Structure 1
């Protein structure tokens, strides 16, 4: 069977679910994962054949069911690194790469620092920071055993050394160490916003890592701010990914906890998406 046949199948079968560009991108990801080929390879040899028709059919069947392609192949790519993802972890997103870039550009890379990544999931934030900041000592925290095991394996896969803590941050009264940076991408989607969530997220990604109750959507931000008052070094920084609809409310929360230079930043799509706060000296 020619591979171009499946290119047509992806377009015909997936465009009712995704737009044509997304369907083509899914095909190209599958092409690389299944055949180790790229768009250029197919352009140079349009008559490329495959012996993996069963794999192609299986992948297409899963995609029609709206299963994310990252879960189908078990891999996601983030800041130049490869991460294992599964039902215990969210799929890393490009806006989170922007948060990581902000952190990297905000630190003095000539000095050793301690970083805590709360709600680490796949470990994409903390592991990337450990990779990019060789003098950083990084700790990953998560409440999910499955997520933390995945993060440990991702650290090994990407050849970085991290510490891990299995812990529900909401149950903590204090952190055991002092940190220079605390970063978190906590659950922040309100239940009322579920109507905006696509099925490929709603049906497959872990709700534990996504959703908070409508009556207290900033519960994780408040708790971590309280912990940071005692366990963040003077002049230390907090970084968060946030709910785009609650930017000003989140900023006001940190200001009410005596953090200074609180900065709200938009992502590449123009949504309020991340925030930085500094502990007052």
Structure 2
């Protein structure tokens, strides 16, 4: 089988479940990973014959993709702020809007920031590690309820030589961390369990439910809990709280923070024009 033949097989099948743009991106990603051929070399190598092992690997990948498994999980990697992150089904796949959140935090903190930052629900570690890259003098802590997620995050931290202090913690438990921070950031679960049927199949079937869905069908339970803990000493005076939010919950999140007497609240839109980030400051 030639490169051209396997390319045709991929395109014909993937176009059944993805649009043309997504199909093109997936094909380029897979073939660069497996055959080490970028888009230009791919076209120049159309008549190259594949080895049996290459054919088997590409067909196995295609089978997983046709089962709606995200390509990031199939290949075990994703790029975030120009860095390659290991990902698996124990962590959410980092999204472009989260890159925007990290860049916003770094811009607000300034280049010489040397304070302490806490990332709650770190998952792959992308927020914490991204912040360490942009704010090398910061002391960054990151927690998660999942040991598997923490293991993945630790691997990513070591891979990029960007040290983060990871620890296991359930933020819904009212146990004190015995520490306070200058910046607290979180991209917590915000989908009530009774809305599962509205979630896309590739997300629902493969991404970790503990990072997606809230208990008790309360969409803002994590935001409310984190904000209360910030008031009770988790966040230093004049410290900043950053959330990634669902665009449909922007007004509710803003009102929650106003009710709790946070100041300088700002809701920001992502590159797609949706309200996906919020910043608030704690003034005693």
TM over 0.5: yes
| CA apart distance, 1:190 | 2.5
Provide the C-alpha distance between the structure 1 equivalents of 2:50 and 2:100, rounded to a whole number of angstroms.
37
Provide the C-alpha distance between the structure 2 equivalents of 1:106 and 1:48, rounded to a whole number of angstroms.
51
Provide the C-alpha distance between the structure 2 equivalents of 1:235 and 1:28, rounded to a whole number of angstroms.
46
2:62 pairs, out of 54, 60, 63, with 60
Provide the C-alpha distance between the structure 1 equivalents of 2:77 and 2:68, rounded to a whole number of angstroms.
16
1:171 aligns to what SS in structure 2?
A: coil
2:100 aligns to what SS in structure 1?
A: helix
Q: Which residue of 1 aligns with 2:4?
A: 4
2:151 pairs, out of 149, 152, 163, with 149
Does 1:100 pair with 2:64? Answer: no
The answer to whether the Cα contact below 8 Å between 1:42 and 1:48 also exists between their aligned partners in 2 is: no
| CA apart distance, 1:65 | 0.5
Normalising by structure 1, we get a TM-score of 0.96
2:177 pairs, out of 175, 178, 194, with 175
Q: Which residue of 2 aligns with 1:231?
A: 234
The answer to whether the Cα contact below 8 Å between 1:237 and 1:276 also exists between their aligned partners in 2 is: yes
Does 1:268 pair with 2:271? Answer: yes
Provide the C-alpha distance between the structure 1 equivalents of 2:278 and 2:179, rounded to a whole number of angstroms.
23
The answer to whether the Cα contact below 8 Å between 2:31 and 2:37 also exists between their aligned partners in 1 is: yes
| CA apart distance, 1:104 | 1.1
| CA apart distance, 1:257 | 1.1
Q: Which residue of 1 aligns with 2:75?
A: 73
Where do residues 1-281 of structure 1 align in structure 2 (5 Å cutoff)?
A: 1-51=1-51, 52-213=54-215, 215-229=217-231, 230-281=233-284
| CA apart distance, 1:4 | 2.1
2:26 aligns to what SS in structure 1?
A: helix
Provide the C-alpha distance between the structure 2 equivalents of 1:269 and 1:225, rounded to a whole number of angstroms.
27
Provide the C-alpha distance between the structure 2 equivalents of 1:247 and 1:180, rounded to a whole number of angstroms.
23
Structure 1 gaps of 5+ residues are: none
The answer to whether the Cα contact below 8 Å between 1:187 and 1:208 also exists between their aligned partners in 2 is: yes
Normalising by structure 2, we get a TM-score of 0.95
| Aligned pairs, number | 281
The answer to whether the Cα contact below 8 Å between 2:121 and 2:186 also exists between their aligned partners in 1 is: yes
2:101 aligns to what SS in structure 1?
A: helix
| CA apart distance, 1:192 | 4.4
Provide the C-alpha distance between the structure 2 equivalents of 1:75 and 1:43, rounded to a whole number of angstroms.
24
Stretch deviating more after TM superposition (196-205 or 55-64): 196-205
2:172 aligns to what SS in structure 1?
A: helix
Structure 2 gaps of 5+ residues are: none
